[in-house]
């Protein structure tokens, strides 16, 4: 943890300069960074020998990101396994015997379960459901699948549209997900294998038609939706997390029930007043783990969830890791123990949780950031997706019995060999109220401590996001190009960020924007005090919560030459009545606008609009439900009324995020031109139309 400037510099330089001199390194284009392939979702075979994982890449011709499945056999060179022409292949899972890999793909008939034999051959579709498959699992005997799909569209809804056209009643138009089972027999006859006659065949004999297998409903026609399910290792019980409906806020009412496959009995076993969510079974199927907010419906957005184990025979729950001050994720109960990931400041580590003493122990010191894990059936081997901080995320395997010795499978980082990349270090300072704040400082490779540099501040979303060390940054901000142009970039883990404990995440409750701005500005002051920053050339930007903080800065300080507000909140009252997550606002501001209008004003950028003077670029998705677009128009008009240079760019067809490469490229260009104009005076920046 803490500061690592020398170590990080050595790592970056050793990677880059081993075969390239600094003056021969390449400044990558926007398109090259957006086109980087990314690896993720490692799934290790039951015997621990093979690893399947996903690789996503940009498809510029079709303007989308494509994700396909790759395979490494016996630790060998990975190769691409799937090719879904107009969609993605995802959700891959090994069969219990390790001979098959199942996955979801839309190959013309919605998302269906497909299987591939490890020995080779083409993919075979197992399901042919009209509305597609949402999620699936193998049964432990490998002879069938359990899956969820949406309930069929009601006939009356179809008739309503024919008569009255299209309309929707708020929070009442949804389709629940229910649970089904379908047999898997790769050797069974398929409909095309034999002719199908209505009555008799050419020899005047009865000839039954061959049909695709039909799914059997396990749980349907019920007044709840299944958010998650998990089959017990003995194949007798299915644990389900269910809520009244699939709307986003119904997670607060989620409970856990157990479904007996043999009898069809459904029994609710965990029913707290707030969110309950199933995590994993014990290897003997006698216990399970779950996460819960217990009865907390007023602060669970920023407080730690609690980890419990539940004993089925006694119906008794026991909390685990009670004194651990962060949220666990990717919790897995293996024969060798319970493992979980948890953020620790700017890093993410692997921990082992004792199911009896409840002790929590960090078991893997390196790599710095682990994004996903998966274990073999006996818990002795693990696959993980991780980065050491100076590289791109790679896929690794390790033998747990050999002290977690890592073996790399991929070479994703080769893509940036020969590039000028970010030189990163973690720094810390004290905010206005004395709170310790960390951030990631990126420097140009030719950084000279005697010079003063322009400063760009990039603010993450969340607020429970977190910024970490990385050699390449993308999304909609051209960070690497600014570094190579000769600027510093600071990414602030302001109060509320994940990885620093529950109390830190609670510091911006009823202090949103205000305290966050303290943290950003004190970071700027810290760097300026070191003599690193040309304070006459500074800019700030961010998306979502980062966009909100940027909007707060543009109306409360004149220290920045330019600001970019991405999908940001400008008025909490406007936000509250338009967003799809009303509980978020009530939890952080501890009131509705009608109960305490003053807190909505104090924390709203629009409250300070009359003092705004900073040129501001506003970027927003046309159909954003999380931060609805009225926030963008309100800020735009307020700035124009103050005669502040302001520009709004609306990205057509998008919600809260920009998810296609061409529009991301446009957003990058918009930020590049905006800040280059105000920080460098580049009036003749290449226009996008060229």
Is residue 491 within 8 Å of 439, Cβ to Cβ? yes
Q: Say how many C-beta atoms besides its own lie within 10 A of residue 685's C-beta.
A: 14
Q: Could you read off the pLDDT of 405-452 as tens digits, one per residue?
A: 889 999 999 999 999 998 999 999 999 999 999 999 999 999 999 999
Query: What's residue 67's pLDDT?
Result: 96
Q: What value, to the nearest 5°, has the Cα angle with vertex 421 and ends 418 and 423?
A: 135
Inter-CA distances, 79 with 39, 409, 613, Å: 12, 11, 54
User: Is the pLDDT reported for residue 254 higher than 50?
Assistant: yes
User: Is the pLDDT reported for residue 567 higher than 70?
Assistant: yes
Query: What's residue 195's pLDDT?
Result: 72
For the entire predicted model, the pTM comes to 0.92
Q: Could you read off the pLDDT of 109-153 as tens digits, one per residue?
A: 899 999 999 988 889 999 999 999 999 999 999 999 999 999 988
CA pair distance 69, 117, nearest whole angstrom: 14
Q: Could you read off the pLDDT of 64-96 as tens digits, one per residue?
A: 999 999 999 999 999 999 999 889 999 999 999
User: Is the pLDDT reported for residue 17 higher than 50?
Assistant: no
Burial of 396 (0-12, 13-18, 19+ CB in 10 A): buried
Q: Could you read off the pLDDT of 587-616 as tens digits, one per residue?
A: 999 999 999 999 999 999 999 999 999 999
Query: What's residue 203's pLDDT?
Result: 59
Query: What's residue 685's pLDDT?
Result: 55
Q: Could you read off the pLDDT of 214-235 as tens digits, one per residue?
A: 899 999 999 999 999 999 999 9
The larger pLDDT score, comparing residue 330 to residue 366, is at 330
Bridge partners, residue 423, by sequence: 443
Q: Could you read off the pLDDT of 631-649 as tens digits, one per residue?
A: 999 999 999 999 999 999 9
Backbone φ and ψ for 592, nearest 5 degrees, come out as: -90, 165
Domains in the chain, CATH or no CATH each: 419-680 (3.40.50.1820)
Query: What's residue 404's pLDDT?
Result: 76
Complete DSSP assignment for 323-340: T--S--EEEEEETTEEEE
Q: Could you read off the pLDDT of 168-227 as tens digits, one per residue?
A: 888 888 899 999 999 998 887 677 767 776 555 555 566 677 777 889 999 999 999 999
pLDDT category, 13, cuts 50, 70, 90? very low
CA pair distance 670, 681, nearest whole angstrom: 15
User: Is the pLDDT reported for residue 470 higher than 90?
Assistant: yes
Complete DSSP assignment for 562-589: EEEEES--S-HHHHHHH-S-HHHHHHHH
Query: What's residue 207's pLDDT?
Result: 63
Mean pLDDT, the chain, integer: 92
531: left (phi over 0), alpha (psi -120 to 50) or beta: left
Inter-CA distances, 150 with 133, 176, 226, 247, Å: 8, 6, 10, 13
Q: What value, to the nearest 5°, has the Cα angle with vertex 347 and ends 505 and 399?
A: 135
**Mean pLDDT along residues 481-503:** 97
């Amino acid at each position: 943890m803490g500061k690592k400037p020398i170590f990080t510099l050595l790592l970056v330089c050793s990677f880059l300069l081993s075969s390239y001199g600094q003056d021969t390194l390449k400044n990558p284009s926007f398109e090259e960074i957006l086109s980087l392939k990314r690896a993720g979702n490692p799934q290790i075979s039951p015997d621990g020998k093979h690893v399947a994982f996903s690789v996503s890449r940009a498809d510029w011709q079709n303007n989308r990101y494509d994700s396909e499945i790759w395979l490494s056999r016996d630790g060998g060179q990975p190769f691409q396994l799937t090719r879904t022409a107009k969609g993605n292949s995802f959700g891959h899972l090994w069969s219990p015997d390790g001979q098959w890999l199942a996955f979801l793909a839309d190959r013309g008939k919605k998302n269906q379960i497909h299987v591939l034999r490890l020995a080779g051959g083409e993919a075979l579709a197992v399901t042919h459901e009209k509305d597609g498959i949402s999620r699936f699992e193998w049964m432990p005997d490998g002879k069938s699948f359990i899956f969820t799909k949406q309930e069929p569209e009601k006939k009356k809804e179809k008739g309503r549209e024919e008569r009255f056209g299209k309309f929707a009643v708020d929070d009442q138009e949804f389709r629940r997900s229910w649970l089904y089972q379908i047999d898997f027999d790769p050797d069974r006859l398929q409909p095309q294998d034999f002719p199908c006659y209505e009555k008799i065949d050419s020899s005047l004999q009865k000839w039954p038609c061959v049909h695709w297998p039909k799914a059997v409903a396990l749980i349907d026609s019920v007044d709840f939706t299944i958010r998650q399910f998990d089959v017990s290792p003995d194949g007798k019980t299915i644990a389900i997390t269910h809520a009244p409906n699939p709307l986003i806020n119904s997670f607060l009412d989620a409970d856990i029930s157990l479904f007996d496959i043999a009898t069809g009995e459904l029994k609710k076993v965990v029913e707290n007043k707030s969110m309950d969510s199933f995590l994993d079974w014990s290897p003997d199927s006698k216990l399970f783990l779950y996460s819960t907010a217990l009865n907390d419906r007023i602060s669970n957005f920023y407080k730690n969830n609690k980890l419990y184990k539940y004993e089925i025979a006694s119906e008794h729950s026991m909390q685990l890791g009670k004194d651990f001050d962060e949220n666990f994720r990717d919790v897995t109960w293996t024969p060798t123990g319970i493992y979980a990931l948890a953020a620790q400041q700017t890093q993410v580590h692997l921990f082992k949780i004792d199911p009896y003493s409840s002790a929590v122990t960090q078991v893997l010191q390196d790599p710095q950031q682990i994004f996903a894990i998966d274990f073999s059936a006996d818990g002795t081997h693990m696959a993980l997706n991780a980065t050491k901080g100076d590289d791109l995320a790679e896929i690794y395997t390790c033998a747990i019995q050999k002290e977690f010795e890592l073996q790399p499978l991929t070479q994703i980082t080769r893509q940036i060999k020969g590039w000028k990349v970010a030189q990163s270090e973690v720094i810390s300072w004290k905010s206005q109220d004395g709170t310790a704040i960390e951030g990631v400082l990126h420097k140009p490779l030719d950084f000279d401590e005697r010079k003063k540099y322009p400063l760009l501040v990039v603010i993450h979303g969340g607020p429970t996001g977190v910024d970490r060390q990385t050699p390449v940054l993308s999304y909609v901000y051209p960070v690497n190009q600014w570094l190579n142009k000769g600027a510093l970039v600071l990414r602030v883990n302001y109060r509320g960020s994940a990885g620093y404990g529950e109390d830190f995440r609670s510091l911006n409750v009823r202090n949103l924007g205000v305290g966050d701005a303290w943290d950003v500005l004190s970071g700027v002051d810290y760097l300026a005090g070191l003599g690193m920053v040309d304070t006459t050339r500074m800019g700030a930007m961010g998306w979502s919560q980062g966009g909100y903080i940027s909007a707060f800065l543009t109306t409360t300080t004149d220290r920045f030459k330019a600001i970019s507000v991405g999908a940001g909140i400008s008025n909490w009252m406007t936000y509250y009545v338009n967003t799809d997550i009303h509980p978020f606002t009530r939890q952080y501001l501890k009131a509705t606008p009608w109960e305490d209008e003053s807190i909505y004003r104090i924390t709203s950028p629009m409250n300070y609009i009359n003092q705004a003077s900073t040129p501001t670029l506003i970027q927003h998705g046309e159909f954003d439900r999380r931060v609805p677009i009225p926030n963008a128009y309100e800020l735009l008009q307020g700035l124009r009324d103050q005669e502040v240079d302001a520009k709004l760019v609306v990205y057509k067809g998008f919600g809260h995020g920009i998810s296609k490469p061409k529009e991301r490229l446009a957003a990058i260009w918009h930020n590049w031109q905006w800040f280059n104009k105000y920080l460098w005076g580049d009036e003749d920046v290449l226009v996008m139309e060229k």
